[in-house]
Structure 1
């Protein structure tokens, strides 16, 4: 006669399945950043996102051609909006860069290793 695996019971007499929460845990709401309006997480310090307004990010203007493609109603714009994810995926690795690690390739008797971080 085959018996199933024994259920693991904790000190309170509950199995793992009995400890699964019935409702999702909702964190308390936290006010947004007073300087830039960034959303904050529960227990995140008030100055964590921008050091109390000391960090300022430069937001460059959108190039005209790109703005035209996103907001236009021409056939070219509609095609761009329909296929924008494909275009993005096609170009994702064009910005890849790697630093050659000489420590990993010193010993030529080993298998060549290519390491990329970032």
Structure 2
């Protein structure tokens, strides 16, 4: 015996193990097998009253900013990056088309 999987095979498949293994494996079929039918999403709670951070139900008050004692500075946008992102000139189009390269 080869194990419990062999016990479940039909009688006409016993002895020909090669027919059970596909000759060519489709990589997409391999990637997309066993995808869950449902997702689990954490429930949101009211935003922090000090820093307005989004919170999940299980997070305690003040976890994000220590009840307003920590204040994160909002960075000013870099003008050249804003121009590359919003303009329609050749440099900007090249930047947006190759954004993954530049991020790397």
Q: Pick the TM interval, shorter chain.
A: 0.5 to 0.7
Higher relative contact order (CA 8 A, sep 6+): 2
Alpha-carbon shift at residue 81 of structure 1 (Å): 0.9
Q: Secondary structure at the match of 2:103?
A: helix
The change in CA–CA distance for 1:4 and 1:32 in structure 2 (over 3 A counts) is: same
Cα distance in structure 2, aligned partners of 1:54 and 1:33: 13
TM-score (norm 1): 0.51
The equivalent of 2:74 in structure 1 is: 59
Q: 1:1-118 residue pairs with structure 2 within 5 A? A: 1-4=1-4, 23-89=38-104
Post-superposition, which runs of at least 4 consecutive aligned residues in structure 1 deviate over 6 A? none
More helix per residue: 1 or 2? 2
* Distance in structure 2 (CA, Å) of the matches to 1:58 and 1:26: 30
Deviation at 1:28, TM superposition (A): 3.6
Distance 1:33 1:86 in 2: 36
Unaligned runs of 5+ in 2: 6-35
Shift of 1:83: 0.6
